[in-house]
């Protein structure tokens, strides 16, 4: 059964993670992808317009045994492979932003776990540590798509080692009972 302590611990964890996550966004704004769409020209519907926008007109491949239906109204066959320079630039900025989110989340997440070891009040220490774990997950998820396999493997290993260490040092009640005797 959930108690007031449980709800307070969960609230502390969530608010701590939200506080740090929002703080990152306040002091390091994410790129504004909407700006690209506000300035983007009409999407080219024919080869001439596509080439004028530095795009590549792509023709669909149709198997030889299938014949395309001929319509009375001419419609363009193909599509423009157009890479919006604005979006491309912002994707690079997004990767840098996500790296900063990852680093700051990692720092505050680890600090929260260390703080848990120092705090005496169980509700607060558990809430802060749970918030730290949420921050570690948040930062890792934000940067995961850019990380190489070795970095991913290392991150998972470090997170696992930290959690095992915290569980062993803080939560091993059998060892604490032996110390009290």
**Do residues 55 and 44 touch, judged by C-beta distance below 8 A?**
yes
Which tops the pLDDT comparison, 179 or 166?
Answer: 166
Q: What is the pLDDT of residues 48-86, one digit of tens each?
A: 888 887 778 888 765 544 555 544 545 557 777 777 777
Reduce the DSSP state of residue 79 to 3 states and report it: strand
The model's pTM is 0.67
pLDDT of residue 20: 95
Q: What is the mean pLDDT of residues 2-21?
A: 91
Write down the H helix ranges in the chain: 4-27, 34-39, 47-52, 85-118, 122-143, 149-170, 173-180
Angle at the Cα of 146 (from 35 to 84), degrees rounded to 5?
A: 30
């Amino acid at each position: 059964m959930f108690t007031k302590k449980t709800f307070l611990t969960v609230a502390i964890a969530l608010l701590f993670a939200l506080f740090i996550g929002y703080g990152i966004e306040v002091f390091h704004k994410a790129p504004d992808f909407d700006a690209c769409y506000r300035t983007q020209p009409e999407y080219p519907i024919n080869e001439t317009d596509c080439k004028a926008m530095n795009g590549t007109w792509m023709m669909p491949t149709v198997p030889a045994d299938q014949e395309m239906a001929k319509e009375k109204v001419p419609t363009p066959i193909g599509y423009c492979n157009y890479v919006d320079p604005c979006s491309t630039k912002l994707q690079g900025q997004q990767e840098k932003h996500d790296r900063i989110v990852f680093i700051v989340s990692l720092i505050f997440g680890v600090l929260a776990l260390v703080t848990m070891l120092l705090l005496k009040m169980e509700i607060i220490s558990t809430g802060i540590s749970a918030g730290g774990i949420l921050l570690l997950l948040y930062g890792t998820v934000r940067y995961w798509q850019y990380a190489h396999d070795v970095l991913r493997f290392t991150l998972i290993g470090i997170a696992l080692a930290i959690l095992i260490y915290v569980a062993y040092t803080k939560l091993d009640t059998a060892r604490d009972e032996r110390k009290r005797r």
